[in-house]
Amino acid sequence: MAIRYVKINKKHEALLDQSQKLIQKRISDQRHVIPIKLLEELKALLDPENLGTVVDLHVTQDTQSNWASGGSCVKLHPRCFDDWQEKGSVTRDPPRLTAVLLHELVHFALGTELDAEFFENRLFTRHDGAVLPTEEDEEEFKDSHYTGVYVAMNSKTREVTDRSKPELVLGSLARATKLAPKPLPQPKTLDNAEAPMANDKQEKLAEVRIQKMAERKRQVGIRIVVEFTGYVKKSDLNKVMGGIRDAVYPNVEGNGGGGS
Ligand SMILES: [Zn+2]
C-alpha cells in the first residue's frame, strides 16, 4: 500500500479508506487546479499498488499536539476522527479527517505550508472540514515570501498561481477573519449564582451593584431581580442576601427598625 496504516484500529481504518477515496475523487475532479508534478505525487501516494512510495500513517497518542504532523511519516491526532463536534448548542464543526489527510499528503510531497493550506482549501470546503490558515500560518507565508514549492500567492489579492506556469491562476486563498472576542460571561442571578472564582474587586463590584439595584427597585416598588456583574463566593452569599434585605426592607423586624 502506498499509505500504510500503522497500529490503526478498524474503525479508523474504515474512515481513512473513505477519506482516501474522497481525496482521489476530488483530485481527479479538480485536476486542472493542481500543478502536474503535485498531481503525480498525490496519485502515487494514493495508489495502493504503487509500492515505490510508502507513507506510514499513525494515530498519535500525544493529545497535546496539533491536528497532524508530517515528516517521514504522517501522524494524525485522534480528534481528526471525531464526528460533527458540538460547540455550545449553536455551531458544529465538520469532521476534519479528509482535509487534514490531504494537507499532510501535500507536505509529504514536499509542499510547504502555503501549498498545503491552499490545496486543503481549494479542494475542500469548510463543510468538508477545511480550515482557513491561522495567524501562525500567515506568518509562515510571509516568511517564505508567499512562495511555496508548487504555488505562489499574491499577498494583496490572495490570488494563487502555479509556480511552473506563473500565468496560470489556480484560485485564491481566503484570509481567516479575526476571531471574535470571547462573549462576556452571563450575568449571574441569585438563582443560579455560583462562585467558581472570586476576588476582592469582584465581590466589591457585586456588592455595589446589588445595593444600587435594590435601591432602585425599592423606589419603584417592583419585584427584585438581582444581577451579579462579578462573582460572589458561596460562603458570602448569606451576607449578600442580608445586605439586600436590609436595603430593600430597612424597616422590617430584625433589620433594625419596626415594621408597620
Ligand atoms: Zn501544514
Provide the pLDDT for residue 260: 47
pLDDT at 153 over 90: yes
- How many angstroms is it from 10 CA to the middle of ligand 1? 26
Locate 59 and state its grid cell.
494515530
Q: How confident is the model at residue 121 (pLDDT cuts 50, 70, 90)?
A: very high
Task: Count Cβ neighbours within 10 Å for each residue of 138-154 and write b for 16 or more, e otherwise.
Answer: beebeeeebebbbbbbe
Is 123 a member of any domain? yes
* Domain contains 258: no
Predicted local distance difference test score (pLDDT) of residue 250:
67
> Based on the domain organization, do 122 and 240 belong to the same domain?
no
| C-alpha 11 to ligand 1 mean position (Å) | 25
pLDDT tens-digit series, residues 16-63:
999 999 999 999 999 889 999 999 999 999 998 888 778 899 898 776
- In this structure, the answer to whether residues 146 and 85 fall within a common structural domain is yes
259 pLDDT higher than 60: no
Over 80: is that where the pLDDT of 178 sits?
no
| The pLDDT of residue 219 is above 60 | no
Mean pLDDT of 175-197: 54
Rounded to whole angstroms, what are the CA distances from 86 to 34, 91, 101? 34, 7, 22
Q: How many angstroms does the Cα of residue 148 sit away from the middle of ligand 1?
A: 12
The Å distance, Cα 192 to ligand 1 centre, comes to 44
Q: What is the pTM of this model?
A: 0.65
d(C-alpha 227, C-alpha 191), whole Å: 10
Residues 237 and 146 in one domain: no
Domain count of the fold of the chain: 2
231 Rama class: left (phi>0) / alpha (psi -120 to 50) / beta: beta
Kindly state whether residues 50 and 106 are assigned to the same domain.
Answer: yes
Read off the pLDDT band of 238 (50, 70, 90). Answer: confident
Ligand 1: centre distance to CA 170 (Å): 19
User: pLDDT at position 83, please?
Assistant: 78
Taking the C-alpha atoms of residue 161 and residue 152, their distance in angstroms, rounded to an integer, is 5
Question: Residue 133 Cα, ligand 1 centroid: separation in angstroms?
Answer: 9
- Closest CA relative to residue 170, chosen from 35, 38, 43, 36: 35
3-state secondary structure the chain: CCEEECCCCHHHHHHHHHHHHHHHHHHHHCHHHCCHHHHHHHHHHHCCCCCCCCEEEEECCCCCCCCEECCCEEEECHHHHCCCEEECCCEEECCCHHHHHHHHHHHHCCCCHHHHHHHHHHHCCHHHCCCCCCHHHHHHHHHCCCECCCEEECCCCCEEEECCEEEEEEEECCCCCCCCCCCCCCCEEHHHCCCCCCCHHHHHHHHHHHHHHHHHHHHHCCCCCCEECCCCCHHHHHHHHHHHHHHHCCCCCCCCCCCC
Task: Tell me the pLDDT tens digit for each residue of 187-212.
Answer: 444 544 444 445 566 666 666 666 66
Say if 257 falls within a structural domain. no
pLDDT at 233 over 60: yes
**CA of residue 150 to ligand 1 center, whole Å:** 14
> How many A from CA of 193 to the centre of ligand 1?
44
Q: Are residues 155 and 61 in the same domain?
A: yes
**How many angstroms does the Cα of residue 220 sit away from the middle of ligand 1?**
61
Cβ < 5 A residues, ion ligand 1: 113, 116
Q: What are phi and psi of 203, to 5 degrees?
A: -60, -45
Query: Which domain-ending residue is among 172, 205, 240?
Result: 172
Residues in the chain: 260
Residue 147 lies in a domain: yes
Task: Decide if 254 is inside a domain.
Answer: no
Q: How far is the CA of 108 from the centre of ligand 1 (A)?
A: 10
Rounded (5°) CA angle 135-137-140: 115
Q: Residue 180 C-alpha to ligand 1 middle, in angstroms?
A: 24
Residue whose C-alpha cell reads 508530517 in the numeric block = 70
Domain extent, residue 198, equals 188-248
Asked if residue 67 has pLDDT above 80, the reply is: no
Convert the pLDDT of each residue in 2-14 to its tens digit: 899 999 999 999 9
Ligand 1 centroid to Cα of residue 30, in Å, is 21
Boundary (domain end) residue, out of 172, 196, 222: 172
Q: Give residue 111 CA to ligand 1 midpoint distance, Å.
A: 9
Residues 65 and 147 in one domain: yes
Task: Place 258 in a pLDDT band, splitting at 50, 70 and 90.
Answer: very low
CA of 116 to the centre of ligand 1 (A): 6
**Confidence class for position 214, pLDDT limits 50, 70, 90:** low
Of the chain, the percentage scoring pLDDT greater than 70 comes to 67
Q: Are residues 215 and 153 in the same domain?
A: no
Could you tell me the CA-to-CA distances from 71 to 41, 55, 109, 216 in Å, in that order?
15, 10, 10, 66
